[in-house]
Amino acid sequence: MNNKLDKFEKEKERMIVKMSDDTGLKQESLAWIEKSSIYKYSYNFKWMDCPIIQFPQDMIAMQELIWQVKPDLIIETGIAHGGSLIFYASILELIGEEGQILGLDIDIREHNRLEIEKHKMFKRITMIQGSSIDEYIAKQVYEFAKGKQRVLVVLDSNHTHDHVLKELELYSLLVTKESYLVVFDTVVEDMPEDFFPVRPWGKGNNPKTAVWKFLKQNDRFEIDKEIEAKLLITVAPDGYLKCVKD
């Protein structure tokens, strides 16, 4: 049985490498992201009846990472409807340990807060309202993280370069070796110049440019290209950062 599983895994890895070398397919995937975003594709889904504004592919990747790392704490900046918080909490519930979720948002809207608080997964969730780059908020996060042995961080709030870079600088220190720092919406850099006309971010000013700058000055993290290669469709190219040093 193990030999069959090993064979399956090796074949999968071989095909992922071949797929990642297919530049035409990667271009088609990016074109699909661009076209589907016009219709707000990421708004189409729920997790346990809570809206989760993410690509299903990225949530599958997050499930794999959470199951692999088994974090004591997942910190996410950006809450919106709370679907990601519920999703992460449900995976921790299946793992069965004492893992907790800490969500940060500059504006936790009352109707969203009420829906999250009445959800059966709320027992694992704590929320803090305030800017993720406010030092007072960061201090609360560090206090909450005290004693946690395995910490995973997800950044998904304001997508401007300066904001994300500050988040990276503030919260990367909390990520433990072999865990991950995930930066969503790096794909903004790969979209056309005029794709975000009413947003303060765009090409040259986005999470991916922040990641690139961060990695030039921090050697604790490496881009996990294998995740991006197997997903093919992801809002986080160059955004799955593995912590490789204490």
The model's pTM: 0.97
In whole angstroms, give the CA distance from residue 195 to residue 1: 50
Total number of domains in the chain = 1
Across the chain, the runs of DSSP E, i.e. the strands, are 46-47, 50-51, 73-77, 100-105, 125-129, 151-155, 180-183, 221-223, 240-243
Query: What are the phi and psi torsion angles at 48 (to 5°)?
Result: 50, 45
Residue 27 lies in a domain: no
Residue 7 lies in a domain: no
Tens digit of pLDDT for each residue in 211-235?
A: 999 999 999 999 999 999 999 999 9
Give the pLDDT score at 3: 87
Residue 196 lies in a domain: yes
Q: What percent of the chain has pLDDT over 90?
A: 98
Tens digit of pLDDT for each residue in 159-200?
A: 999 999 999 999 999 999 999 999 999 999 999 999 999 999
Please check the confidence at residue 202 and state whether its pLDDT lies above 70: yes
Please check the confidence at residue 119 and state whether its pLDDT lies above 80: yes
Tens digit of pLDDT for each residue in 53-74?
A: 999 999 999 999 999 999 999 9
Residue 140 lies in a domain: yes
Residue 4 lies in a domain: no
Give the pLDDT score at 46: 98
Cα–Cα separations (whole angstroms), residue 135 to 17, 216, 219 = 42, 24, 24
Residue 33 lies in a domain: no
Q: What percent of the chain has pLDDT over 70?
A: 100
pLDDT band at 40 (very low <50, low <70, confident <90, very high): very high
Residue 188 lies in a domain: yes
Across the range 18-36, mean pLDDT stands at 97
Residue 180 lies in a domain: yes
Query: Residue 223 belongs to what domain range?
Result: 42-243
Please check the confidence at residue 1 and state whether its pLDDT lies above 80: no
**Mean pLDDT taken over the chain:** 97
CATH number of 200's domain: 3.40.50.150
Q: Give the residue carrying structure tokens 């708004």.
A: 43
